[in-house]
Amino acid sequence: MEINVRKGDLGGEECDVLIVGEFQSEKKLELSGDTEVLNEELEGQLKSAAEEQGFLGKPGEMVFLRTQGMITPKRVLLVGLGKIEDLTTEVVRVVAAQAFNSIKRFKIKSVATSLHGEDIEDLNVRDLARATVEGVLLSKYEFAQYKKPTKFSIQSFDLILSNGRAASAARKGVEEGELYAAGTMFTRDLVNTPPNHMAPEDLVNVAKDLSKGKSTIKVRVFEKERLERMGAGGILSVAQASKHAPYLVHMTYTPKASTRKSVAIVGKGVTFDSGGLSLKPPGSMTTMKCDMAGAATVLGLFSVIDELAPRTVVHGIFAAVENMPSGDALRPGDVIKMMNKKTVEVLNTDAEGRLILADALVYAEKQKPDSILDLATLTGACVVALGEEITGVMSSDPVLANKVLVAASNAGEKMWELPLEKNYKKLLKSDIADVKNIGGRYGGALTAGLFLQEFVEKTPWAHLDIAGPNFAERVINAYNPKGATGHGVRTLIEFLKK
Ligand code: BES
Ligand code: ZN
Ligand code: ZN
């Protein structure tokens, strides 16, 4: 589907469906600006159809009208934008997705839309265009590798501006939207792929493929023997019962212009989390292909990083393992030694993410980055605390935490800071080792964060627990269908842009 931007007059646009938005009226529907002009051209039919259906412009309301040759577009889809003072880029993203969802199964070729919010001073055209394109492309997403894809015939999507001077800003926004959506959908595909087709070695191959033909991306893969020599006891012991060997993958993006700045982004890549000998109950296991979402988010970022061209070196690091039970499995009670020589008493083999991340974080810090971010589907406790839509952010550095939260907000991804409470460190005390891998009954997201902190010495670091929002067991909103959401990719892109 091709996306274009141009200045135009809505009633004269050649298209199968024209989407126009209207803000919410108090009691009686009042049309404004574009929609009023269109309504006049349609001899009042738009307004009468809207009134007949009780349309007031509330978010999610829609009216569909055939234009019977009165104007050039064959049909008009009027969508509610909600209250004018509540309009944000996120509303625009959702509205674009709602509108698109309602027509994407039609046998039509061309869609045009006005740019909702174009006339509102606080919002800029570039961000609005980006949000619109993200809403459309992310709602169009479907994972159909194992079934027949839904038929889709729309070939063009045109953004019609009333102000021609904003066209170049809108075009930039469209390009960004395409990029942000592409990265997000790359991650969705990896996470949605079933665990029998997405083993640790498959993640490694994805990383290798991403570097092919690109001079800016290099990949190093550390295999089992190498990990043994490095002393990566966390990664090795979690993987020891699986027939799939473990890997530590290090991708490096180096910008063409030289720079001294660098950041490391670390992901949890458990391709299936059965819990190990601390076996999960069946109901908790069914979605555990999602446990490599942290690694998939790093890969989603790297799938677009060359085009994004940030002015900083980016280390993309992930540990890839499968957590299985067997006669060779890690036992509750085992003590293991990690890459930084600290010892861990493993009291629950289902708290495996922190074990592999610990080694990956130690490795990341050895690269001497200015800051480290990690993304992990780490704890069910974080989902209990913040629900299914919000990521928990824990950071050793308030400035870095703030940068992450601002990036998330600009990206339209919900994140909230949780504390790394020093007093809770005592919960990780072990009788026989430096630390144990589980805290007490309460505050499980925080004790997991505190455990990770044991493996970062001095580099500013932020931990993003994406266990809730990375995988939607029910539809979250119009642009997040069931299944993998790709949550985190847009925040990372936004973070690197700044
Ligand atoms: N992969 C899970 C966390 C998870 C839960 C991700 C729900 C996505 C959705 C993680 O490895 C895990 O099992 N954590 C345990 C930790 C506990 C044993 C301390 C948990 O959250 O129950
Ligand atoms: Zn687990
Ligand atoms: Zn896990």
- Look at residues 318, 310, 354, 360 and name the one whose alpha carbon lies nearest to residue 206: 318
pTM exceeds 0.95 for this model: yes
- Residue 454: the pLDDT is 98
- Residue 122: the pLDDT is 87
- Scored b (16 or more CB within 10 A) or e, 91-116 reads bbbbbbbbbbbbbbeeebebbbbbbb
Ligand 1 pocket: which of 350, 424, 446, 474 to mutate (most atoms within 8 A of CB): 350
Closest ligand by atom to 269 CA: 3
Detail the DSSP E strand segments found in 390-438.
Answer: 391-395, 415-417, 435-436
Q: What is the 3-state secondary structure (H, E, C) of 96-112?
A: HHHHHHHHCCCCCCEEE
Nearest CA to ligand 1 atom 5: 380
Other residues' Cβ atoms within 10 Å of the Cβ of residue 145: 11
CA 448 to ligand 1: nearest atom: 19
- Residue 93: the pLDDT is 98
Q: Is the CB of 380 under 6 A from ligand 1?
A: yes
Ligand 1 pocket: which of 379, 441, 474 to mutate (most atoms within 8 A of CB): 379
How far apart are the C-alpha atoms of 314 and 253, rounded to whole Å? 5
- Residue 216: the pLDDT is 98
- In Å, what is the CA distance from 438 to each residue of 16, 344, 468? 58, 10, 19
- Residue 441: the pLDDT is 95
What long-range pairs does 49-54 form, CB within 8 A, spacing at least 24? 50/22, 50/78
Contacts of 203 (CB under 8 A, 6+ apart): 190, 247, 249, 269, 271, 292, 295, 296, 299, 318, 320
| 252 phi, psi to nearest 5 deg | -125, 125
- Residue 498: the pLDDT is 85
Q: Is the CB of 465 under 6 A from ligand 1?
A: no
Q: Is the CB of 350 under 6 A from ligand 1?
A: yes
Please, is 278 exposed, middle or buried when counting C-beta atoms within 10 Å of its C-beta (0-12, 13-18, 19+)? buried
Active site residues: 280, 354
Q: Ligand 3 centre and the CA of 270: distance in Å?
A: 6
How far apart are the C-alpha atoms of 453 and 461, rounded to whole Å? 8
The residue ranges of the chain whose pLDDT is under 70 are none
Q: Ligand 1 centre and the CA of 383: distance in Å?
A: 9
CA 323 to ligand 1: nearest atom: 11
Q: Is the CB of 484 under 6 A from ligand 1?
A: no
Max Cα-Cα span within the chain: 82
Is the Cβ–Cβ distance between 200 and 239 less than 8 Å?
Answer: yes
Q: Is 229 helix (H, G, I), strand (E, B) or coil?
A: helix
Q: What share of the chain is helix, strand, coil (3-state, %, to 5)?
A: 40, 20, 40
Q: Is the CB of 444 under 6 A from ligand 1?
A: yes
CA 439 to ligand 1: nearest atom: 19
CA 284 to ligand 1: nearest atom: 7
Closest ligand by atom to 465 CA: 1
Q: Is the CB of 447 under 6 A from ligand 1?
A: no
